[in-house]
Each structure stands twice: as structure tokens, then as C-alpha cells.
């Protein structure tokens, strides 16, 4: 085993997990057994909650301008350890090193945003009648939890840790059992940056510990990022316990391509969007709808896809189960009459035969009723549908239950606006294949891609991680009275 057994991070130090139940952590790159992950029990969670509760009074009373100093130092440490952390992200997740570098760079941007929070939570004050003032202040919630998926082992934890903690909360975070290693490094960096013990705690495990987090009476709010199936479970279970919950789910992102789109730029965007991080991004293009005559662009998409080589500029998918699921989708579409223009099935990488790779796959003449058109595939696959009108393309996009992102490729500003206004998705791209909003704009989809109010990052996260206090004060209204008289 390459690394030591995974441990929880409780009250500022790494602790063994009591449970005997373990899961293997396997690198998708080449099948190496990286570590053994013990699954935490409710008793382990109890230690984490106690540590967070103990830390909360002092941390929440620390002025925010002092709290964010930790994140200035953490940002510097992320920059210093960028390559090492990126190598670990790549090793445990399977994405390429350059994709992992981009992921850590995004962590730095997220942290930079958190350092600006004092400017954003100054609150308001107004003299509402003579001598009477109302003021607002943002108050932290207490002990909060964050449950994260496998596809961004460093970035998604950094969607929640810097903002929630800078705003004065103490957090328990549960990494994906498939990629628990990067988060341990993040915890070490935060400790080195001066984060007090107990403010951040990691509990490792699978669904059992998620259930315990949802049920724990002393955890006040939960953010979840993962599949829609589990987002619904977590949202329902935690809100039934009267917790605040924001649960981000899966996606099926549509790119609408019009005949006047710039061919090369569009093809490059489509290919990069569907294959980046091996298609394991909730912002990945999964369906392309060609409106009218777009054969010339489809040809170019195929050309671009053929330049994407597993093990070189295309990483692995997370495990054998994922590889088989993705390949099953392709085979089923083929059996239903779709045409596989570029076929990524059966991909292998020399010297990494136990790695789990799927090559880029372009499927044309997909119809809206096929599973590859409707469901999240989460692999480097683009399903191309054809329509003769924009409204028909929008109908397909609108009817899909997800709503994370949608994009349009055209040079016609009026058409771009028409589509952007009518697409039923939280994040829209115009000639942008992966329309992730940059800070301070917030990240979050619509429909079955998100349950709960607000978004998870940027300015919107302030409302989720705090409660607003409204104070009314009557000052001495008499003139000429002061404390020295
Ligand atoms: P997942 O839903 O399987 O797992 C997410 C988390 O939930 C993990 O920590 C896991 O341990 C836990 N979990 C799994 N099954 C559970 C259960 N039955 N009960 C309680 N907890 C459970 O997701 P994943 O496979 O790790 O990640 C991929 C999914 O995440 C994709 O659907 C992707 O679209 C989605 N995702 C969405 C966003 C977004 O912003 N909307 C971002 C990243 C990933």
C-alpha cells in the first residue's frame, strides 16, 4: 500500500477510526492500491461534533478580519504546495496533472474570495426614526457539515471550507470514500495556516456516516455535492431533522449549436467540454443539439475528439464500475440506431493496464428518448441530437429534469439571447463550453441539479452559512446631553 491507513482529522490532529469496516482507495490511473479507508461510525462523528462545538464559541467571537488572516496564509500555502497537491489529486482521482493543477488553482481563487468576506458582510445601519437605529449583522450558524463527491477532491471541499469557516462556523467535512487523501493535505495546510483546533474536522466513510451527519441534532446546516439520487436523500433526511440544507446534484448539460457558429472554436469547445476531467464534471457538455445544417461542425468535433488520447491528454474515469456503465450507455445507443462516430470503448493505456480509461466518444443521430440523451453519463461522451428549429432544441433542453448548465454557440447575438433566456439551467454559456461562474459570482444549478435556496459559492454562500441578526437601538435623543456633563 502506497500510503498509510486514512485517519480522521479531529480537534487538530489525525485520529484512528474505531470501525473495523474498511474500503480500498484505488488509483484509477493504474489500479494501484493507494490506501485503506476505515468507515467512521456514529461514535467517531460524536468526537468530531464535540471538537467543533468546543471550538465554536472562541472562533465565532473572533472578528472576521482576524479569521480571514488564516485564509491569506492558507492561500499562500496552496500556492507553495500547488504541484504536490495536484499530483495527489491526479493520483487518487485519475484526472491529468494539468487538470489537477487547474483544480488547485481554482482552490486558490475560492480562498481569495473568502479573504474578501469582511468587505461583503459589513452589514447595514440606518437611523429609522430620530435616535433609533436598525443594524444588521451576519451571525454564524454553529457546527455545520459538508459532504463532497469524488470528481474534485480539492476544489469542492474548497467551495465550502473557506467561506463557511471565515464566516465563523466550525465544520465537519466528509470526503468521498473514493478520494479521501487530498483533503488530509488540505487539513494539514489549514493547521499550518493557523486554523485553531476543532474548527475543521474530517470524518471519513460512506453512506452510513452521511446518515449520521443528517441525523445529528447538533449539526445545524449541511451542504451536499454529489449525484441527484443522493442529493435527494440528504436533502430530505436533513430537512426532516429541521436542518438547513443545500444539496447540489447531477447534471445533463446541453450545448445548442447553430449553423452560423464559428466552426473551429465551437468544435474545440464541444470536445474540451465533454472530455475534460474524463467527462466527470457536473459542468461537462453531455448532449449537443445541432439546429439545422451542422454536419461541418460535427466533422470538426470528431477531428478534435480524435486528438484526445487516454493516458496523455485524457485522464481515467474513477473506477471499473464507471467504465462499464459508460460503455454500456454507448453500446445501448448503438443498438437503438445511433451512430458511433468516435468510439472510446475498450480503451487501454500501455503500462497502465489496470487503469480505468474510456476514450472520447462522439455519438450522432441520438434521439431525445434514448438514455444517452436523457441521463447523466459522467464520462467523455457527447450525444448529438438534430433539430430543425431552435424552439425544438429548447424543448429538449427544457424537458430534461436536470438544469445545471446550458450553452449556445452562434454568432447571432439575438439568437444567443433568445436561447440564454429560455434555457432551463442555472449557468448559461454563450460561446463558452464550460460556463462556470468565476468568483464573486456564485455556482449553482436549477431543477434536479440543486435542492435548496441560493448557491454554494460566491456572494450567495453568505446567506447559506449565516443567519441575519436585526438589532434596533434607541439612543439618547436629547440634545446637549453627553457623558461628560
Ligand atoms: P455520490 O452522490 O455517489 O456521492 C457523493 C457523496 O455522497 C459521497 O461523499 C458519498 O460517500 C455519499 N453517498 C453516496 N451514496 C450515499 C447514500 N446512499 N446515502 C448517503 N450518502 C451517500 O456522487 P459521486 O459519484 O461522488 O460524484 C459524482 C456526482 O456528483 C455526479 O452526479 C456529478 O454531477 C455530481 N456533482 C455535482 C456537482 C454540482 O455542482 N452540481 C459538482 C460535482 C459533482
Give me the pLDDT at residue 19, please: 82
274 and 326 within one domain: yes
Give me the pLDDT at residue 18, please: 79
CA-318 nearest atom, ligand 1: 25
| 56-110 confidence digits (pLDDT tens) | 999 999 999 999 999 999 999 999 999 999 999 999 999 999 999 999 999 999 9
| 127-185 confidence digits (pLDDT tens) | 999 889 999 999 999 999 999 999 999 999 999 999 999 999 999 999 999 999 999 99
Residue 51: strand pairing partners: none
Q: Report yes or no on whether pTM surpasses 0.95.
A: yes
How many angstroms separate the CA atoms of 324 and 97, rounded? 24
212 and 296 within one domain: no
- Residue 311 to residues 250, 314, 460: CA-CA distances in angstroms? 26, 6, 38
| 435-457 confidence digits (pLDDT tens) | 999 999 999 999 999 999 999 99
132 and 37 within one domain: yes
Phi-psi region of 337 (alpha: psi -120 to 50; beta: other; left: phi over 0): left
- Residue 366 sits at φ, ψ, to 5 deg, of -80, 140
How many angstroms separate the CA atoms of 135 and 133, rounded? 7
Residue closest via CA to ligand 1's atom 24 equals 149
Give me the pLDDT at residue 483, please: 61
* Ligand 1 centroid to residue 176 C-alpha, Å: 8
State the CATH number of the domain containing residue 384.
3.40.309.10
227 lines ligand 1 (CB under 6 A): yes
The answer to whether position 3 is within a domain reads: no
In 3D space, the residue among 117, 135, 27 whose CA is nearest the CA of residue 66 turns out to be 117
452 and 383 within one domain: no
CA-148 nearest atom, ligand 1: 9
| 274-330 confidence digits (pLDDT tens) | 999 999 999 999 999 999 999 999 999 999 999 999 999 999 999 999 999 999 999
379 and 418 within one domain: yes
CA-226 nearest atom, ligand 1: 30
Give me the pLDDT at residue 52, please: 98
**Lowest-pLDDT choice from 17-21, 36-40, 251-255, 383-387:** 17-21
Residues recognised as catalytic:
282
Q: What angle do CA 43, 204, 325 make, to 5 degrees?
A: 130
39 lines ligand 1 (CB under 6 A): no
Phi-psi region of 451 (alpha: psi -120 to 50; beta: other; left: phi over 0): beta
CA-249 nearest atom, ligand 1: 41
* Ligand 1 centroid to residue 427 C-alpha, Å: 20
Residue closest via CA to ligand 1's atom 13 equals 207
Task: Report the chain's mean pLDDT, rounded to a whole number.
Answer: 97
Model confidence at 5, pLDDT cuts 50, 70, 90, reads very high
Residue 420 CB-half CA count within 13 A:
15
Residue closest via CA to ligand 1's atom 6 equals 149
| 141-154 confidence digits (pLDDT tens) | 999 999 999 999 99
Domain count, the chain: 2
Query: Domain range spanning residue 257?
Result: 253-430
State the CATH number of the domain containing residue 243.
3.40.605.10
372 and 243 within one domain: no
The answer to whether position 207 is within a domain reads: yes
* Ligand 1 centroid to residue 247 C-alpha, Å: 10
302 and 184 within one domain: no
First to last CA, the chain: 77
278 and 246 within one domain: no
For ligand 1, mutation pick of 227, 241, 281 (most atoms within 8 Å of CB): 227
The answer to whether position 328 is within a domain reads: yes
258 and 240 within one domain: no
176 lines ligand 1 (CB under 6 A): yes
282 lines ligand 1 (CB under 6 A): yes
* Ligand 1 centroid to residue 303 C-alpha, Å: 33
* Ligand 1 centroid to residue 483 C-alpha, Å: 60
Statement: residue 471 has pLDDT above 70: yes
* Ligand 1 centroid to residue 78 C-alpha, Å: 25
In 3D space, the residue among 122, 76, 97 whose CA is nearest the CA of residue 29 turns out to be 97
149 lines ligand 1 (CB under 6 A): yes
The answer to whether position 371 is within a domain reads: yes
Residue entry with cell 437611523:
127
The answer to whether position 1 is within a domain reads: no
427 lines ligand 1 (CB under 6 A): no
Model confidence at 477, pLDDT cuts 50, 70, 90, reads low
37 lines ligand 1 (CB under 6 A): no
Q: Which residues contact 345 (CB under 8 A, 6 or more apart)?
A: 327, 330, 331, 358, 359, 361
Phi-psi region of 279 (alpha: psi -120 to 50; beta: other; left: phi over 0): left
264 and 237 within one domain: no
What size, in residues, is the chain?
485
CA dihedral 113, 404, 448, 422 (to 10 degrees): 120
Strand order in the sheet with 339-342: 339-342, 361-364, 381-387, 285-291, 253-257, 405-409, 427-430
Model confidence at 482, pLDDT cuts 50, 70, 90, reads low
Largest CA distance in the chain: 92
* Ligand 1 centroid to residue 34 C-alpha, Å: 21
CA-228 nearest atom, ligand 1: 32
How many angstroms separate the CA atoms of 428 and 435, rounded? 6
| 261-278 confidence digits (pLDDT tens) | 999 999 999 999 999 999
The answer to whether position 466 is within a domain reads: yes
Secondary structure of the chain in the HEC alphabet? CCCCCCCEEECCEEECCCCCCEEEEECCCCCCEEEEEECCCHHHHHHHHHHHHHHHHHHHHCCHHHHHHHHHHHHHHHHHCHHHHHHHHHHHHCCCHHHHHHHHHHHHHHHHHHHCHHHHCCCCEEEEECCEEEEEEEEECCEEEEECCCCCCCHHHHHHHHHHHHCCCEEEEECCCCCCHHHHHHHHHHHHCCCCCCCEEECCCCHHHHHHHHHCCCCCEEEEECCHHHHHHHHHHHHHCCCEEEEECCCCEEEEECCCCCHHHHHHHHHHHHHHHHHCCCCCEEEEEEECCCHHHHHHHHHHHHCCCECCCECCCCCHHHHHHHHHHHHHHHHCCCEEEECCCCCCCCCCCCCCCCCCEEEECCCCCCHHHHCCCCCCEEEEEEECCHHHHHHHHHHCCCCCEEEEECCCHHHHHHHHHHCCCCEEEECCCCCCCCCCCCCCCCHHHEECCCCCCCCHHHHHHEEEEEEEEECCCCCCCCCCC
* Ligand 1 centroid to residue 430 C-alpha, Å: 28
424 and 376 within one domain: yes
Span 217-246, mean pLDDT?
98
173 lines ligand 1 (CB under 6 A): no
For ligand 1, mutation pick of 93, 226, 450 (most atoms within 8 Å of CB): 226
The answer to whether position 481 is within a domain reads: no
Statement: residue 481 has pLDDT above 80: no
280 lines ligand 1 (CB under 6 A): no
| 367-409 confidence digits (pLDDT tens) | 999 999 999 999 999 999 999 999 999 999 999 999 999 999 9
Give me the pLDDT at residue 123, please: 87
How many angstroms separate the CA atoms of 137 and 128, rounded? 16
The answer to whether position 437 is within a domain reads: no
404 and 290 within one domain: yes
* Ligand 1 centroid to residue 434 C-alpha, Å: 20
298 lines ligand 1 (CB under 6 A): no
**pLDDT above 70: percentage of residues in the chain:** 98
312 lines ligand 1 (CB under 6 A): no
CA dihedral 226, 229, 232, 236 (to 10 degrees): -110
206 lines ligand 1 (CB under 6 A): yes
44 lines ligand 1 (CB under 6 A): no
| 332-381 confidence digits (pLDDT tens) | 999 999 999 999 999 999 999 999 999 999 999 999 999 999 999 999 99
In 3D space, the residue among 119, 118, 104, 141 whose CA is nearest the CA of residue 70 turns out to be 118
Whether the CB-CB separation of 285 and 273 falls below 8 Å is answered with yes
Statement: residue 485 has pLDDT above 60: no
Amino acid at each position: 500500500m502506497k500510503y498509510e491507513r486514512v485517519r480522521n482529522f479531529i480537534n487538530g490532529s489525525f485520529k484512528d477510526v474505531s470501525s473495523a469496516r474498511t474500503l480500498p482507495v484505488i488509483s484509477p490511473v493504474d489500479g494501484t492500491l493507494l490506501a485503506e479507508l476505515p468507515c467512521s461510525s456514529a461514535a467517531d462523528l460524536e468526537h468530531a461534533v464535540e471538537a467543533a462545538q468546543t471550538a465554536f464559541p472562541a472562533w465565532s467571537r473572533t472578528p472576521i478580519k482576524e479569521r480571514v488572516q488564516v485564509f491569506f496564509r492558507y492561500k499562500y500555502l496552496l500556492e507553495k504546495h500547488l504541484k504536490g497537491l495536484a499530483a495527489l489529486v491526479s493520483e487518487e482521482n485519475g484526472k491529468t496533472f494539468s487538470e489537477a493543477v487547474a483544480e488547485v488553482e481554482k482552490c486558490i481563487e475560492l480562498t481569495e474570495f473568502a479573504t474578501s468576506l469582511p468587505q461583503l458582510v459589513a452589514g447595514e445601519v440606518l437611523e429609522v426614526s430620530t435616535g433609533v437605529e436598525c443594524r444588521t449583522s451576519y451571525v454564524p450558524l454553529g457546527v455545520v457539515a459538508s459532504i463532497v463527491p469524488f470528481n474534485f477532491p480539492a476544489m469542492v471541499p474548497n467551495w465550502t471550507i473557506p467561506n463557511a469557516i471565515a464566516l465563523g462556523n466550525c465544520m465537519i467535512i466528509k470526503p468521498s470514500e473514493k478520494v479521501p487523501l487530498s483533503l488530509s493535505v488540505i487539513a494539514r495546510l489549514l493547521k499550518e495556516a493557523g486554523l485553531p483546533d476543532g474548527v475543521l474536522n474530517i470524518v471519513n466513510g460512506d453512506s452510513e456516516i452521511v446518515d449520521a451527519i443528517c441525523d445529528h441534532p447538533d449539526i445545524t446546516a449541511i451542504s451536499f455535492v454529489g449525484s441527484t439520487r443522493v442529493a435527494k436523500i440528504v436533502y430530505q433526511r436533513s430537512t426532516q431533522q429541521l436542518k438547513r440544507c443545500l444539496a447540489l446534484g447531477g447534471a445533463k448539460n446541453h450545448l445548442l449549436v447553430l449553423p452560423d457558429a464559428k466552426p473551429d472554436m465551437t468544435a474545440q469547445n464541444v470536445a474540451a467540454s465533454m472530455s475534460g476531467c474524463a467527462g466527470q464534471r457536473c459542468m461537462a457538455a453531455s448532449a449537443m443539439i445541432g439546429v439545422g445544417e451542422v454536419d461541418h461542425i460535427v466533422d470538426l468535433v470528431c477531428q478534435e475528439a480524435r486528438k484526445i488520447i487516454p493516458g496523455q491528454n485524457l485522464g481515467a474515469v474513477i473506477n471499473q464500475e464507471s467504465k462499464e456503465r459508460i460503455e454500456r450507455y454507448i453500446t445501448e445507443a448503438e443498438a437503438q440506431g445511433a451512430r458511433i462516430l468516435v468510439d472510446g470503448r475498450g480503451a487501454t493505456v500501455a503500462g497502465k493496464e489496470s487503469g480505468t480509461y474510456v476514450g472520447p466518444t462522439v455519438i450522432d443521430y441520438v434521439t431525445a428518448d434514448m438514455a444517452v440523451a436523457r441521463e447523466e453519463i459522467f464520462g467523455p461522451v457527447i450525444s448529438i441530437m438534430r433539430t430543425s428549429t431552435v424552439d425544438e432544441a429548447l424543448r429538449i433542453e427544457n424537458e430534461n429534469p436536470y438544469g445545471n448548465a446550458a450553452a449556445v454557440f452562434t454568432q447571432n447575438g439575438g439568437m444567443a439571447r433568445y436561447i440564454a433566456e429560455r434555457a432551463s439551467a442555472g449557468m448559461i454559456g454563450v460561446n463558452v463550453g464550460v460556463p462556470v461562474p468565476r468568483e464573486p459570482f456564485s455556482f449553482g444549478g436549477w431543477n434536479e441539479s440543486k435542492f435548496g435556496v441560493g448557491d454554494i459559492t460566491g456572494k450567495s454562500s453568505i446567506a447559506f452559512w449565516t443567519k441575519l441578526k436585526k438589532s434596533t437601538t434607541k439612543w439618547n435623543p436629547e440634545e446637549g446631553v453627553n457623558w461628560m456633563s
